[in-house]
Amino acid sequence: MQPPILLTDEQMQQYIVDGYLVFRPSVPDDLHGIIYEKLNRIIDNEVNPGNNVLPRVPEMRHILNCPEVRGALISVLGPDYLEHPHRFCHPLKPVEEVPSPKEREERLHKNCHQDGYTPLGHPRHHRSRYARIMYYPQDSPEEIGPTHVIPGTQYNTGLSDEDRERAMPVAGEAGTVSLTHFDIGHAAGVSQLKRHRHMIKFIYVRASEPTEPTWASADTTWRKPTSIKSAHDLDHVWSHCWDWSCGKRDRYESLKASGPDPSDALDTLIENLKPSVDLETQLSSITKIATHSERAAPAVDSLVRLLDDNGHKALRVASIYALGAIGEPAIDALVDALRQAGQREASNDPPSPWSEGAILMNDTAHALAAVGPAAISSLVTLLEQSEHEWTRINAAFALGELDSHATEAVPALVDCLSDGSHRVVRTVVDALGNIRSSVPIEPVARMLSVDRSGWDTDELHRWWRPVDQIHTSAATLFAKWGTDATVVETELTTALDDPCGHVGSFALNALQRLGTPTADRAALDFLMSQRWDASIDHERLF
Ligand SMILES: [Fe+2]
């Protein structure tokens, strides 16, 4: 295998800002035609193979293994990234009647969305933890309806009409690949052509927290790209995500290095947060407030008021990371707001921001995670003492966002594995997977086969049940941990037969990473029995 081609600092900065990059894999040109023809036959004659599209068209592995795709994934997710079992071919069939420009525009707007997670919901996230590869095996000019992206919307909770107006086509020749943040807004284009169009997506997951840049880094200083497609300037949000990706322990190092402009009076900046002030002035004032760090404590109440449903989506994310930059003086107000959010959701089952497509965690949880280690003891108190499920879920999520910084929260999180709420347990398993350090294996291993009242009978989404997601989350955790999971080899081998295919897929990955002869044998035995003969189709069964 050729060595991966890693992203440059500039490409990483562009990815953090706009949420996507486009490139062409260096594979033989005729490969795309072979894949295209095969997909045409499948889409015309068979049921869409769904997650099985890769074994159905295994030639696509050459795209996924090429130096450009591997290099891009290593750059944004780290060298030990995991392949998610969800993949999908999104086909557009040849059109019979060309839609009018007005109809095309309306359909494109309607198609705009952020993806749901699978098998069940997972929190939307700002940092680079999930990424998507989109591949076109055919020439994809705008007329064939390539996927559109909405730059910068990976930090959004939902899409506005203003966002939908900005959807832009990722057009290109056969073989074009785009790398996108999982949560970016996007849309299927509308074809005007009498030939097939396919977009095949593949999902990847970060396995471990960044401790150093994993791209071809020459300089870890944050630099705003010269050309930005995102609608709003969120410099302090981007520099925070950059510092996290660089593995800096202080995720505001870049912001502090630039420091506040002495000519900006804090009082005036706070005054600018009033709803009557125009959006761009509010946003630039928030960025300037963030540069004042803890000295901007008087801005806390005004910023907290902009969180959650009250503000414009860009104001919300700007406020989250300004509160994070203020740090300790923001903690009490954020904790209070999170308590109140739990109280408001107490009579909703599930809490209203919890969807089994994607979970919209409270803005206060993102802000407490941005504050960093200073917020840990308050988050642990919420986790241990709050009677409200939604508050406990958000506290667990925020702790998980701190990765190994939150090691001291491990005992409290482990206690929550006995919670009766599958939503709490799912969030806690994810958090422990991120924290990794000092997590006892045995209570987490029990989550590979756990079952509690209602968890195996309540179908939540696409006929998946709570146990399916909890077992998947536990198997994912062990796949992330690599050789740290050696003592659970037997449980992982048993998990290969879980009725939910996602569990077996992650357990297989976990076994593969253990590297023991017995784990290798179990993994290979499973794979050999699952081996798919891609030369068989609906007309030729043997
Ligand atoms: Fe989608």
| Arithmetic mean of pLDDT over the chain | 96
Cα(409) to centroid(ligand 1), Å: 35
Lowest-confidence pick of 117-126, 180-189, 417-426, 526-535: 526-535
Q: What is the predicted pLDDT for the residue at 332?
A: 98
State in Å, rounded, how far the first CA of the chain is from the last one: 32
Confidence label for 161 from pLDDT (cuts 50, 70 and 90): very high
> What is the enclosing helix (H) or strand (E) of 539?
none
Q: Give me the mean pLDDT over the 199-211 stretch.
A: 98
Confidence label for 532 from pLDDT (cuts 50, 70 and 90): confident
Q: What is the predicted pLDDT for the residue at 534?
A: 84
| DSSP calls for 86-119 | EEEEEEEPPPSSPPPHHHHHHHHHHH-B-PPPSS
Q: What is the predicted pLDDT for the residue at 75?
A: 98
Cα(184) to centroid(ligand 1), Å: 9
Q: pLDDT tens digits, residue range 263-309?
A: 889 999 999 999 999 999 999 999 999 999 999 999 999 999 999 87
Under CATH, what is the fold of the domain 9-205? Jelly Rolls (2.60.120)
CB distance 250 to 243 below 8 Å: yes
User: Above 80 in pLDDT, residue 459?
Assistant: no
Cβ neighbours around 505 below 10 Å, total: 24
Cα(139) to centroid(ligand 1), Å: 20
Q: What is the 3-state secondary structure (H, E, C) of 331-375?
A: HHHHHHHHHHHHHHCCCCCCCCCECCCCECCCHHHHHHHHHCHHH
Q: Which amino acid is at 482?
A: G
Q: What is the predicted pLDDT for the residue at 263?
A: 86
**Of 333, 356, 353, the residue nearest 342 (C-alpha):** 353
Q: What is the predicted pLDDT for the residue at 447?
A: 98
Q: How large is the angle between the packed helices 331-344 and 389-401, nearest 10 degrees? A: 140
Cα(186) to centroid(ligand 1), Å: 6
Q: What is the predicted pLDDT for the residue at 27?
A: 95
Q: Which amino acid is at 7?
A: L
Cα(156) to centroid(ligand 1), Å: 15
CB distance 199 to 144 below 8 Å: no
User: Above 80 in pLDDT, residue 311?
Assistant: no
Residues with CB under 5 A from ligand 1 (ion): 115
Cα(113) to centroid(ligand 1), Å: 6
| Structure-token pair, residue 502 | 């996602």
CB distance 158 to 313 below 8 Å: yes
Q: Is 355 exposed, middle or buried (0-12, 13-18, 19+ CB in 10 A)?
A: middle
Q: What is the predicted pLDDT for the residue at 46?
A: 92
The number of angstroms, rounded, from the C-alpha of 299 to the middle of its chain's C-alpha atoms is 30
Instruction: Spell out the domain ranges in the chain.
Output: 9-205, 233-326
Cα(183) to centroid(ligand 1), Å: 9
CB distance 313 to 152 below 8 Å: no
Cα(88) to centroid(ligand 1), Å: 10
| No. of helices (H) and no. of strands (E), the chain | 24, 8
Q: Give me the mean pLDDT over the 41-66 stretch.
A: 96
Q: What is the predicted pLDDT for the residue at 539?
A: 82
Confidence label for 74 from pLDDT (cuts 50, 70 and 90): very high
Q: Which amino acid is at 185?
A: G
Confidence label for 321 from pLDDT (cuts 50, 70 and 90): very high
Q: What is the predicted pLDDT for the residue at 222?
A: 97
Query: How far lies 342's CA from each of 1, 65, 345, 382, 392, in Å?
Result: 51, 45, 5, 10, 8
Q: What is the predicted pLDDT for the residue at 340?
A: 97
CA distance 27 to 293: 49
Q: pLDDT tens digits, residue range 471-501?
A: 999 999 999 999 999 999 999 999 999 999 9
Cα(111) to centroid(ligand 1), Å: 9
